[in-house]
Amino acid sequence: MAVFTELSRAEIEHILCDYSVGGLVELEPVASGVENTNYFISTKDDRGLHRWVLTLFENIDSNDLPYFCELLTELARHRLAVPSPEPRRAPPSWFWCRQRPGILAPRLSGVAVMQPDSTHCYAIGRWLGTMHQALAQSSLQRSPPRDAAWFESAARSVEGYLESLGQDLMRQLMCSCQQLFPRLSNLPQRLIHGDLFRDNALFEGSSVSGVIDFYHGCRHAAALDLAIMMNDWCFDRRKGAFDESLEQAMLQGYQSMRKLEREELECWPALRVMAAGQFWLSRLKTRYLQGYQSHSSVGQVFKDPAEMEQMLVGLLAQTGV
C-alpha cells in the first residue's frame, strides 16, 4: 500500500455518497505497500464509528475487477477474514475516481508480524490450506499473469542491467523454470493468493485475524502459493538462510488442512525457485524500468531485489541446476 494518487477530503466524501456507511470522520494516507493507493478512513452513522480501507487501483486491468471482488466475497462467505468489498447502493461494487477503479472494504484488526516464530508459521500455513480447500469447487477463473511468456519478457527487459554474476543467475533461473512450466498445469490447481508475504497477514497474538492484498490472485498451482509464502516467512534475513523449523511448522499447518500430493512434492524444489525468481524479476523491473511506482507521494515503494537474489542463490544450489 502507498499513495500514488492523492485524494482530497471532498473527493472521498463524494465516493462515500454511494455507500450506506455514514459520514466521513477521519482519513489517513497509508504509507506501506508498493502497488495501489490506500487510505484508512473512519465514518460514523447512528450505529457508531466504522473503520475502512479505501483502495484506488493503479495498475489493474478493470476487466479483472469482477474476479477480485467475487473472490473476496466468496472467501468472506467461508468465514475467512478478508477485506471483502462493501456493497454500494447500486452495482457494481467498485467505484471510479480520477479514471481509476477502487473499492471500500472493512479495515481488519490485528498487526503484521515481521519476525514470525513457529506458531505464526503454523497458523498462516493452516490459513492458506483452509483457503485452498474452501475454494476447491469455485468456478472463478483468472489465468496466471506471470506465465512463461512473462518470465521470458521480464528476463530480457532487465538482463542488460545485471553484472555477469547476475546474468549467470538469470540463466540458471530460466533453465529451472523452463523445465517446470510444462508440469505446472498437471499439479493441483486452486484459486491462490499469490503474494502472501508477512506484511499481507494480520495477527492477534498467535492467531491469524485477517489476510489482505489478493491482487496477484489467479487460478494456479496450489503448491506455488505455498512456496511463495514459505520463501518470505521462513527466510532468516540476519543469517541469509532458511529456517528449517519455520518451514516445517508452515508445512505442518498447511497439510493439516490439505495434503500435498506426490507430484507437488516432486516439483517442490523447483516451485521454490520459481517463487523466488518471479519476485526477483518483478523487483528488478521496478528498480530499472520505473513506471507509476516512482511517483508515490507517501511511502517507500521499492523493495530490494537483493533479498530475493539471496534466496534464489540458495534455492538453486539445492536443486543442482
Predicted local confidence at residue 320, as pLDDT: 65
Predicted local confidence at residue 33, as pLDDT: 55
Predicted local confidence at residue 293, as pLDDT: 45
pLDDT exceeds 70 at position 24: yes
Predicted local confidence at residue 292, as pLDDT: 40
Residue 218, beta-bridge partner list = 192
User: Tens of pLDDT along 150-179?
Assistant: 999 999 999 999 999 999 999 999 999 999
Cell digits of residue 36: 495501489
pLDDT exceeds 50 at position 296: no
The arithmetic mean of pLDDT across residues 110-126, rounded, is 98
Of 3-7, 41-45, 150-154, 158-162, the poorest mean pLDDT is in 3-7
Predicted local confidence at residue 231, as pLDDT: 98
Predicted local confidence at residue 318, as pLDDT: 86
- Which one is predicted more confidently, 62 or 299? 62
Predicted local confidence at residue 112, as pLDDT: 97
The arithmetic mean of pLDDT across residues 269-293, rounded, is 89
User: Tens of pLDDT along 233-258?
Assistant: 999 998 999 999 999 999 999 999 99
pTM, 2 dp? 0.93
DSSP letter string, 136-192: TT-------SS-HHHHHHHHHHHHTTS-HHHHHHHHHHHHHHHHHHHHHTTSPEEEE
Find out whether the peptide bond into 85 is cis, omega within 30 degrees of 0.
no
The arithmetic mean of pLDDT across residues 5-14, rounded, is 95
Dihedral sign for Cα 64, 69, 70, 74, please.
Answer: positive
Predicted local confidence at residue 66, as pLDDT: 95
DSSP-based three-state secondary structure for 194: coil
- Which one is predicted more confidently, 13 or 4? 13
pLDDT over 70, % of the chain:
94
Predicted local confidence at residue 312, as pLDDT: 96
DSSP letter string, 71-101: HHHHHHHTT----PPPPPSSS-S-EEETTEE
Predicted local confidence at residue 291, as pLDDT: 56
CB contact at 8 A, 173 and 152:
no
CB contact at 8 A, 218 and 143:
yes
pLDDT exceeds 60 at position 204: yes
Helix spans in the chain (H): 9-16, 65-77, 118-134, 148-159, 164-184, 222-233, 244-255, 262-288, 305-319
Mean pLDDT across the chain: 93
pLDDT band, residue 189 (cuts 50/70/90) = very high
Residue 97, beta-bridge partner list = 100
The arithmetic mean of pLDDT across residues 217-243, rounded, is 96
Predicted local confidence at residue 4, as pLDDT: 83
Predicted local confidence at residue 192, as pLDDT: 98
pLDDT over 90, % of the chain:
88
pLDDT exceeds 90 at position 298: no
CB contact at 8 A, 176 and 252:
no
pLDDT exceeds 60 at position 111: yes
